[in-house]
Amino acid sequence: MKAAILKTLGQPLDIEEMPAPEIGTGEVVVDVAAAPVLSYANEVFNGERRYNIGLPMVPGCGAIGRVRTSGPDATHLKPGDWVFCDPTVRSRDDALMPDIALQGWSARGDGGMRLQRHYHDGPFAEQVRVPTENAIRIGEIDPGDAARWCALNVVLVPYGGLLAANLLAGEILLVSGATGNFGSACVATALAMGARCVVAPGRNERALADLERRFGERVRTVKLSGNEDEDTKRMREAAPGPVDCVIDLLPPSATTTTVRAAVMAVRPYGRIVLMGGVGMLGGAGLDLPYPWIMRNDIVVRGKWMYPPEAVTRMTGLIRSGLLDLGHFDVTTFALDDANAAVSHAAANGGPFRMTVIRP
C-alpha cells in the first residue's frame, strides 16, 4: 500500500509503498477514506512540539474509513462498515490507570511508548490497523462526505471536556480560546448540547464576529484587552447570568494570565476544565488562589481527549441536526500531496477550517 512516512524530524514526509497491515486478534484493518491534517502537524513533524514519537512512522491522528477485515473478537463490525478510527489507544491490562497513546501522533510515558510501538502507524496511508474498540461505527454516509466527517476529530476533543464538566442544558459556558480550531468547535458543540449561552473571549475580532454571525444571540463575544482583571470583569458582564463552567482550550503559545482571566470568571460552586496546551513548551504554571478555590467550592479538572462512548454520542448529535458539519470548510489533498497538505494546514488553521488527505 502507499503511505506518507515521517522518517526524520524536520524532513518532508516520504511517499512510498510499504506492506499492508496484517490483522491480529483484537484488531481491525480499515481502508482509509479521509484523514484530517491538524493545523499544528508541521510543529509535530519538525520537533517543535516535543512529542514522544518513534520514527520512522506513518503519521496522522484519526480518520474516516470502511472496515476491510476484523478479528474474531468483533461481534458487530463487518466489512464495509463506515467507522471513525479513534486515535486514542488505551492499554487493556489496567482498567483503573490505562496507559494512553495517540496512534500515529504521540505517546505519554513509558507505557504509552510501548503502546505506540505496537499501534505505531497512523492513517496517512491507504490502510490503517486499529484496536477493535477504536473502529467505531458512524452509520452509512455518502463517500463524498467522508472528508467533512473528519470534523469528528475536532469536535470530539472539546466534547470530552464538556462531558467531564457535566455541562447541562440551560447552563452558561465560557470558552477560553474560542477563536481557535478546538475552541470554535467547542462553541458549536456546547450549543448543540443545549447551553443557554456561550461566552467567547478572544483577540481576533474577525473570528469573534464570525461566531456571532454563525450562532446569533446565544454567543456573547468579548474582545480581550490583555489586562487580566479587566478581562475577567468584562467576561462576567457579557454573560446573561453567572458563568456555570469555564473550559480552557488555549494553545501552548498562550500566557497563563490569559487562562487565569477566564478561569476567575466562573461563579461560586462552578466548574473549570483545563484541556489546553499552556505550559507544554515550558514557562510558568497556572497560579490560582487557594482561598478562592476552597471558599467558593470550585471544581478544577484536567481532561485529555474524550471517553470511547463520546464518538457514538457525537454521531447522534450530528445525525439529529443539532450539530451541523456544514460549518466546516474542507480542503482535500491526495496522499501523494501529503507535504502540501501539511503546509496548507499550517497556513489555513483556525475556526471551522479543515485540511484533509484522501488516500
- Report the distance separating Cα 87 and Cα 62, nearest Å: 5
pLDDT tens-digit series, residues 9-61: 999 999 999 999 999 889 999 999 999 999 999 999 999 888 888 899 999 99
pLDDT on residue 52: 86
Question: Is it true that the peptide bond before 79 is cis, omega within 30 degrees of 0?
Answer: no
Q: Model pTM?
A: 0.94
What's the whole-number average pLDDT of the chain?
96
Q: Tell me the domain boundaries of the chain.
A: 2-150+329-358, 155-302
Task: Judge whether 222 and 178 are in contact, CB under 8 Å.
Answer: no
Give the Å distances, CA to CA, from 303 to 163, 208, 277, 311: 10, 25, 11, 16
- Report the distance separating Cα 38 and Cα 229, nearest Å: 33
pLDDT tens-digit series, residues 223-237: 999 999 999 999 999
Task: Name the superfamily (CATH) of residues 155-302.
Answer: NAD(P)-binding Rossmann-like Domain (3.40.50.720)
Helix (H, G, I), strand (E, B) or coil at 125: strand
Its CATH architecture, for the domain 2-150+329-358, is Alpha-Beta Complex (3.90)
pLDDT on residue 49: 87
**Residue that has been written with the C-alpha cell 488562589 in this structure:** 289
Among 157, 158, 165, 200, which residue's Cα sits nearest to residue 299? 165
- Report the distance separating Cα 101 and Cα 170, nearest Å: 35
pLDDT tens-digit series, residues 87-109: 999 999 999 999 999 999 998 88
Residue 281 has pLDDT above 80, yes or no: no
N- to C-terminal Cα separation, the chain: 10
For the chain, the 3-state helix, strand and coil shares in percent, each to the nearest 5, are 30, 25, 40
Residue type, 93: D
pLDDT on residue 12: 97
Percent of the chain residues past pLDDT 70, beyond the cut: 100
CB-CB neighbours of 215 under 10 Å:
18
Residue 83 has pLDDT above 80, yes or no: yes
Among 152, 135, 179, which residue's Cα sits nearest to residue 317? 152
